């Protein structure tokens, strides 16, 4: 019918607008991932530097006592004084933390654009991520990696829209009418 043409044009225009708006939102959101990972990596490096600095203090103390760091930790841990034994445990944990942070930083710094998200999840540190998130400000990364993530976001949103919204609605509208219902001609 003629009177439905303006309505059809309006709904088609709204559908195209919604489609484009989702593409822009997906691109903008996914383009933030490399930016967030860059901020995370900087914060990770800061944690690593501080942990190394603290471990160096204990290493110097051990060296001044004529001990290796491992001997120092063993002596402290075996001490009858609870405070000294606890300090030995802290130094041991700190050395492990330095190793963990160094491994994470090396892996993330050497990662390709494709493997970085996987390694980010593998070495994810909740405390560092929370600290990164509190100071994170969205930005538009002007790198090839940012473009790739943005295009991935467009693809994800198009797949979501067409597969999760548009296609099911079209199937629902094409469904046979219920018994007794009248169907208007197209």
Summarised one tens digit per residue, pLDDT across range 56-74 is 999 999 999 999 999 999 9
Q: DSSP strand E in 31-103: where? A: none
Q: Are 129 and 40 in contact (CB under 8 A)?
A: yes
In the chain the first and final C-alpha atoms are separated, in Å, by 7
pLDDT at 165: 79
Could you tell me the pLDDT band of residue 183, with boundaries at 50, 70 and 90? low
pLDDT at 134: 96
pLDDT at 17: 85
> Which residue pairs, CB below 8 angstroms and at least 24 apart, start in 11-20?
15/166, 18/161, 19/158, 19/161
Q: Take residue 167 and report the two structure tokens written for it.
A: 């296609």
Q: Is the pLDDT of residue 2 over 80?
A: no
Q: Over the chain, what is the mean pLDDT?
A: 87
pLDDT at 125: 96
Q: Are 150 and 139 in contact (CB under 8 A)?
A: no
pLDDT at 29: 87
Could you tell me the pLDDT band of residue 173, with boundaries at 50, 70 and 90? confident
More confident residue, 3 or 79: 79
pTM assigned to the model: 0.72
pLDDT at 184: 52
């Amino acid at each position: 019918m003629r009177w439905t043409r303006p309505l059809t044009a309006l709904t088609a225009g709204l559908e195209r607008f919604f489609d484009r708006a989702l593409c822009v939102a997906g691109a903008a959101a996914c383009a933030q991932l490399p930016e967030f990972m860059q901020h995370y990596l900087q914060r990770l490096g800061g944690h690593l530097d501080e942990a190394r600095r603290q471990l160096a203090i204990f290493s110097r103390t051990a060296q001044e006592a004529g001990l290796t760091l491992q001997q120092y930790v063993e002596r402290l841990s075996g001490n009858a004084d609870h405070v000294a034994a606890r300090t030995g445990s802290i130094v041991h944990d700190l050395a492990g933390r330095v190793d963990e942070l160094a491994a994470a930083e090396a892996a993330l710094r050497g990662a390709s654009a494709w493997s970085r998200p996987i390694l980010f999840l593998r070495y994810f540190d909740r405390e560092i991520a929370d600290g990164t998130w509190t100071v994170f400000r969205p930005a538009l990364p002007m790198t090839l990696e940012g473009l790739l993530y943005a295009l991935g976001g467009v693809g994800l949103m198009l797949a979501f829209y067409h597969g999760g919204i548009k296609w099911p609605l079209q199937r629902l509208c094409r469904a046979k009418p219920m018994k007794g219902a009248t169907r208007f001609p197209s």
